[in-house]
Structure 1
Amino acid sequence: MLAGSPPEPRSFNKVTAGGIKIFIFKGVVAAPEGINISLSGFWIWKRLVVNELS
């Protein structure tokens, strides 16, 4: 995971989760049900959480 825009934006899908722009590589292999992107934590200690759905 990196902060900022990817160097080749055409290779990524852009989604928004919790008001945060997220770039997901178009070639990503995920569970058939997809992935869940969310925020966890409180105030400045928030973190991005990514889980495969199964």
Structure 2
Amino acid sequence: MSTKYYEHAFVLLPTNPTAAYHLWSNYRIQGKCDKANDLIQYAGRIYKIHSRNVN
């Protein structure tokens, strides 16, 4: 997965955490754990904020 998709995942986080999570999963499957870990740490924060705003 290219850097373009990695950057796109960050763009998706505030509005579509599910899509961003799927991109994270693809990184894990491909063994790009550093990128996956960076993304999921950020995604976790955004997802918590998003969940609070929805509920």
- TM category (shorter chain) comes to under 0.3
The higher relative CO (CA closer than 8 Å, separation ≥ 6) is in 2
Q: TM-score, normalised by structure 1?
A: 0.23
CA radius of gyration, larger in: 1
After TM superposition, the score normalised by the length of structure 2 is 0.23
Normalized per residue, which structure has more strand?
A: 1
Higher helix proportion: 2
